[in-house]
Structure 1
């Protein structure tokens, strides 16, 4: 048999090409019995449906949402990103929209994802604002929703965490427990790893800076002795290296504030390797309240973000941005998702306050 086309199926069933097309694209136009006969014939002939590009052209919709991510592999390696994307995908599923990951870095090859991949809109997730890929999305005039970063494109919507209050609550919790020698471990992609020159300006990227500024807004006025350690990314190997740096300093901290629960887990693990008790010798606070926070021993004190709520907010913002495309009266929306401190077993009184040596 030669190439199976829409006409091949139409001839087999004895209907028009439009009827076969409707069976795939507009099922409400056919009776259930007729649609079942068309789909059965298509399956028998090995016909999977009209060409997706042609269907997208006819509908004026690609049925896809691009996701611009600094490191597309990180979308799968970072548990927080993975949980967020799962919530977005689940929320969009009933609309027929699917996610398509786009690398933020472009190559000299013939295909540039941000320029060439069909999509109806895009999420810009924790991505540098000056990338060529983002420039292509802007030039395509696609509806954009920025997540975990302030919009850098006029008219774009955003979904942000209210990071600073959570960070402030975590820092105040340590001060209330008597800690004054505190390390902060945060991401600083592109900066030298290790001890940062100035804790107050540590961190790179919107989320990292928001958390550092929240911590320091409490620790600075309290006169705490703060050291910051930069890690390149929120990944296990980077977190372990930063934890070893912080816990082998000549004047070891009695508490550590971490960019994420993954980083906090690394600190607890390295503390155990060094024979330090958590929280007896060292208090540790994570960020995110991921499932990891509850499986670490002891369970992590952490700042909770509702990843499901953030994912749903991003998905709804994308839907509304697509619906409003071309409307001069449409206004971008900016959603702020709250955070709050969850106290568990990884924090306790500073060693000196407990009457023991550090």
Structure 2
């Protein structure tokens, strides 16, 4: 079954049948319906996708490279909401979304093998092999929540002001012993490098920089604990380390709402009241923050705005790579604002502190 089979059945040209599937604006509604009805009656599903890619020189797909497996990423409410916003923004363009884990077998490396017109690199450091493959393919790239590489575009949260506002909020409440729980990607167990070290990842580095820009000059007692990743198990270990200190913190600034939620659970288990004995601040304003007991003070990021910006920047980067009229002349760099949201998990420092 070919395009010509359908053309002969309807009595039109092969190009008319092709347009019915791929360029519907070139046909009247009545003619397109006739062509599609004939195709359905004959059991024809449409032009072969591989042949269409070869003919057009485009795939009609944009990749999103993840830090981990696709299944794990969808368990993260922040990542899932971001992907949803990206998909909604790309839907009118006809560009499909291909989710790519940053790891794969030697036989199948998605970043190397899957056809795509461009890709977003979501929170993946530029030294990962998967990113290297994308760069070698010379694809238009947009780095999201990670430092861009080369002439790639980027969409980043303006993390420092949000983190600084959270730290100032605790100072204004009288806290002078403050703990920080943040991720440290790739750090060996027990190693606590300079929190400003670029090796801890863009997001962690920016949030720590924002917190310390306020806490450092204030001369307060700050303890930074790096956890392996943004998971409940590692957050549990981190907060137990902080609470075991002789002079335990009266407040904790957390890398994410999930980490902050875990801090509340462990504090409650140890007989501490939030916020009477321990104030807790999250980051992201995910559903976890609003469902926590008490609800979390946090730093809000607009996930819809970030996803929409990333999708728009990617489509423009693809247009730039094709030399389309009106496309940007160089890479774009977008900062998405953040804001402090005060809820019930923070309060005045305990009197004895």
TM-score relative to the length of structure 2: 0.92
Moved more, 64-73 or 174-183: 64-73
1:35 aligns with 2:42: no
Q: 1:326 to 1:14 in 2, by over 3 A?
A: closer
Among 248, 251, 256, the alignment partner of 2:252 is: 256
- Are 1:170 and 2:169 matched, yes or no? no
1:58 to 55, 59, 70: 55
The CA distance in 2 between the partners of 1:138 and 1:212, in whole Å, is: 29
Deviation at 1:268, TM superposition (A): 1.0
Compared CA separation, residues 42 and 249, structure 1 to 2 (3 A): farther
Matches within 5 A, 1:1-358: 4-73=1-70, 74-109=72-107, 111-153=108-150, 155-193=151-189, 196=192, 204-327=200-323, 330-352=329-351, 357=352
- 1:220 is paired with a residue of what secondary structure? helix
Q: Which runs of 5+ in 2 are unaligned?
A: none
Distance 1:117 1:205, change over 3 A: same
- Provide the aligned length of Structure 1 versus Structure 2: 349
Name the CA distance, whole Å, in 2 between partners of 1:132 and 1:262.
Answer: 28
Deviation (angstroms), 1:47 = 1.9
Find the aligned partners of 2:7 and 2:232 in 1 and give their Cα distance: 56
CA distance in 1, matches of 2:13, 2:127: 51
Q: Deviations over 1:172-213 (max 9, x none)?
A: 111111111111111112213568365565971010011111
Secondary structure at 1:221 match in 2: helix
With 279-288 and 228-237 compared, the bigger mean Cα shift is at 228-237
Going from structure 1 to structure 2, the CA distance change for 1:234 and 1:46 (only over 3 Å counts) comes to farther
- 2:125·2:147 contact (CA, 8 Å) conserved in 1? no
Q: Does 297-306 or 4-13 show the bigger shift? A: 4-13
CA 1:195/1:181 → structure 2, altered by over 3 Å: closer, same or farther? farther
How far 1:346 moved relative to its partner?
0.6
CA distance in 1, matches of 2:110, 2:344: 45
Contact 2:196 2:205 in 1 (8 A): no
- Name the CA shift for 1:200/1:221 in 2 (closer, same or farther; >3 Å): farther
Change (3 A) 1:203 1:227: farther
Q: Offset of 1:232 from its aligned partner?
A: 1.6
TM-score by length of 1: 0.91
Separation (CA, whole Å) in 2 of partners of 1:289 and 1:206: 19
- Deviation at residue 22 of structure 1 after TM alignment: 1.5
Distance 1:6 1:55, change over 3 A: same
CA RMSD of aligned residues (A): 2.1
Write the deviation string for residues 86-133 of structure 1: whole angstroms up to 9, x where unpaired.
111110110011111222235321x33222211111111111211222
Moved more, 162-171 or 28-37: 28-37
Distance 1:197 1:121 in 2: 35
